[in-house]
Amino acid sequence: MKILLLAGDGIGPEIMVEAEKVLTALALPVTLDRALVGGAAYAAAGHPLPPETLAKAKAADAILFGAVGDPRFDNVERHLRPEQAILGLRAELGLFANLRPAKMFAGLEDSSALRPEVASAIDLLIVRELNGDVYFGEKGTRTTADGQREGYDIMAYSENEVRRIAHVAFRAAQGRRGRLCSVDKANVLETSQLWRDVVIEVAADYPDVTLSHMYVDNAAMQLVRNPGQFDVVVTGNLFGDILSDQASMCVGSIGLLASASLSESTQGLYEPIHGSAPDIAGQGVANPLAMILSLAMLLRHSGGDEASAVRIEAAVAQVLADGCRGADLGGHMGTAALGDAVVAALNG
Amino acid sequence: MKILLLAGDGIGPEIMVEAEKVLTALALPVTLDRALVGGAAYAAAGHPLPPETLAKAKAADAILFGAVGDPRFDNVERHLRPEQAILGLRAELGLFANLRPAKMFAGLEDSSALRPEVASAIDLLIVRELNGDVYFGEKGTRTTADGQREGYDIMAYSENEVRRIAHVAFRAAQGRRGRLCSVDKANVLETSQLWRDVVIEVAADYPDVTLSHMYVDNAAMQLVRNPGQFDVVVTGNLFGDILSDQASMCVGSIGLLASASLSESTQGLYEPIHGSAPDIAGQGVANPLAMILSLAMLLRHSGGDEASAVRIEAAVAQVLADGCRGADLGGHMGTAALGDAVVAALNG
Ligand SMILES: CC(C)[C@H](C(=O)O)[C@@H](O)C(=O)O
Ligand SMILES: CC(C)[C@H](C(=O)O)[C@@H](O)C(=O)O
């Protein structure tokens, strides 16, 4: 398997080192390649997703992605900003299915802002559509009839886009507790009405899955009130962005959650759901566990190596159960020490 | 002052009765009128916002609004659904500024899903733009080049729309702790980029207010992690819908939060932020406190009667501090008993 490592900006390179340690410890038959992405690529090559990087990404079986984002480039033209690299990869590689699991780890119940009895019940999977919605519709600025500047972005979903993500979500629910909640804003948006209609059509193929629908405002409320009620949640690109970040914080730290972005093939991109955290970059204090758990998802979904994925996940759970904590969880362990602890747990 | 009472659907009529009790107890010189709205109006007159209701709304100094929404009409054509009534009133009356305060009440710290030390710090105001965004842009279904159904909605903000809501938010921050956080998704949306640019322009008029910016996904996370960090939050219609419902749940029950929807004049519409709750309608168990607190906001913003507003708010706080709880907060007091308790506290 050919894996492309895109470390990116901020804490990306530091946490990538720890994922590589884990990969080395597993001694798997993989070949590794590297390329620049995000602000690092813009600084070196004038574009956040240079052609060489994109070509390598297309040629790889899987991409392990750190993070992009660099405040130095917040004011360059939009299409040259670091974040465009991840949007570009999602679009160019057809990575339409973003899986964001959130589950409480044993020993972390007291780290969540939620009360322990509420937090401990969290075991959900957000399936976020990643190639459409208001992210990728026509957008720009124009002048209104009365001479005002106006910004606009077109939100849209076509039935085939909804259908393929719905199938991913229903299949995921079959492999879990059999419940799927589709989140939309069908009382206001035509995009959501079509979404809901198509999800209902697809449901006919999955009589073993219980489908429900929830408006996004209510979903944001229910994720605080009682997140344990959710099994699989399927939603569009924008609502998925908001709800998955919210869910991550319910688990205690955004430094613990991994994600997979999948295409129609087995090719995928795997990244922590946190960002580049420029405020703590270079200090060796970033939590590498989400990055390491992203590697586990890579081995599972693109490598077909469930055994190694489970080994990594068990090692991370062990390290947390043993009380290892980085600064994000009020502890003192640095990035490298946490990575070493995972490797020790893998071997022990 | 002429107040129009629009009780609406579900629990709307029950909780409206309790607000009227409070109004009667205050013996203020107001004239009351009533009209049908939402599903109730659709059932009686074939439209959720009949012309007579709209005319009365336009003629009123203030509107006290219960809730709309009735599952019996979920499948009628979109423009005839109960929710269209509230969207229509917001548009027709130019109610562009939605104020949604969220503050922890003494004695309710243990009712929040958040840990008490996190929840007790909540004292924020969400200022939501209510006349624009993807809610009111062109929308519909069309057929793509390859024959697929596609739903679309245009998201847009013009600079004057952003400017007037920004002024409301900056002034609100001046009257509070002097901090304003503008929430957008400027790393992806042109609508958000214009929003951010204009908010920064308006900030020049308010050197005494500290302005910050946050992406909406991060805001959803921070509202769970540490809601106490926020003073005033200003955001667009869609993000405001999601974040204000989320914030309400952090306070313990959505049955406690009121909102004001204001125009350029002193005319305004006041409503609980919860919905019509059809599942508990007619049982006399709905919490009337958000409705009663909406009346307080009405007297403050449209009536210029700060003293009566403060009296009502103090009475509600007293009732909660005394341990009065409805089913939403794990207690046994019904709708009427809670309303009576507020009246008793007012007089006592
Ligand atoms: C960086 C940004 C464009 C991105 C998104 O909004 O999708 C991020 O928030 C994410 O969720 O991966
Ligand atoms: C009923 C619905 C159209 C409405 C909205 O989305 O604005 C409601 O959720 C609200 O927040 O007042």
CB of A83 within 6 A of ligand 1: the answer is yes
pLDDT tens readout for residues A307-343? 999 999 999 999 999 999 999 999 999 999 999 999 9
Contact B137 A152 (CB under 8 A): yes
Contact B193 A151 (CB under 8 A): yes
DSSP secondary structure of A257-288: -EEEEE-SSS-EEEEESS---GGGTTTT-S--
Residues in Cβ contact with A147 at an 8 Å cutoff, skipping those fewer than 6 apart = none
> Would you give the end-to-end CA distance of chain A in angstroms?
26
CA distance B50 to B148: 36
Task: Kindly report the three-state secondary structure assignment for every residue of chain B.
Answer: CEEEEEEECCCHHHHHHHHHHHHHHHCCCCEEEECCCCHHHHHHHCCCCCHHHHHHHHHCCEEEEEECCCHHHCCCCHHHCCHHHHHHHHHHCCCCEEEEEEECCCCCCCCCCECHHHHCCCEEEEEEECCCHHHCCCEEEEECCCCCEEEEEEEEEEHHHHHHHHHHHHHHHHCCCCEEEEEECCCCCHHHHHHHHHHHHHHCCCCCCEEEEEEHHHHHHHHHHCHHHCCEEEECHHHHHHHHHHHHHHCCCHHHCEEEEECCCCCEEEEECCCCCHHHCCCCCCCCHHHHHHHHHHHHHCCCCHHHHHHHHHHHHHHHHCCCCCHHHCCCCCHHHHHHHHHHHHHC
Residue B297 in contact with residue B305, Cβ under 8 Å?
Answer: no
Please, what are the domains in chain A? 1-96+263-348 (3.40.718.10), 102-254 (3.40.718.10)
Interface test with A, best of B152, B202, B218 (most A CBs within 10 A): B152
Name the residue facing B194 among A112, A149, A194 (closest C-beta). A149
Res A272 pLDDT > 90: yes
CB of A257 within 6 A of ligand 1: the answer is no
Res A137 pLDDT > 90: yes
Q: Can you tell me which atom of ligand 1 is nearest the CA of A130?
A: 7
pLDDT tens readout for residues A25-61? 999 999 999 999 999 999 999 999 999 999 999 999 9
Chain B residue with CA closest to A69: the answer is B187
Chain A residue with CA closest to B228: the answer is A113
Res A75 pLDDT > 90: no
Q: Can you tell me which atom of ligand 1 is nearest the CA of A240?
A: 11
pLDDT tens readout for residues A51-69? 999 999 999 999 999 999 9
Res B75 pLDDT > 90: no
User: Is A34 labelled as part of a ligand binding site?
Assistant: no
DSSP 3-state of A235: strand
For residue A251, what pLDDT is reported? 87
pLDDT tens readout for residues B214-245? 999 999 999 999 999 999 999 999 999 999 99
What is the whole-number distance in angstroms between the Cα of residue B27 and the centre of ligand 2?
Answer: 32
Chain A residue with CA closest to B188: the answer is A135
**Bridge partner residues of B99 (DSSP):** B127, B260
Say which DSSP state A143 is in: E
Q: What is the pTM of this model?
A: 0.96
| Number of residues that make up chain B | 348
Q: Can you tell me which atom of ligand 1 is nearest the CA of A245?
A: 11
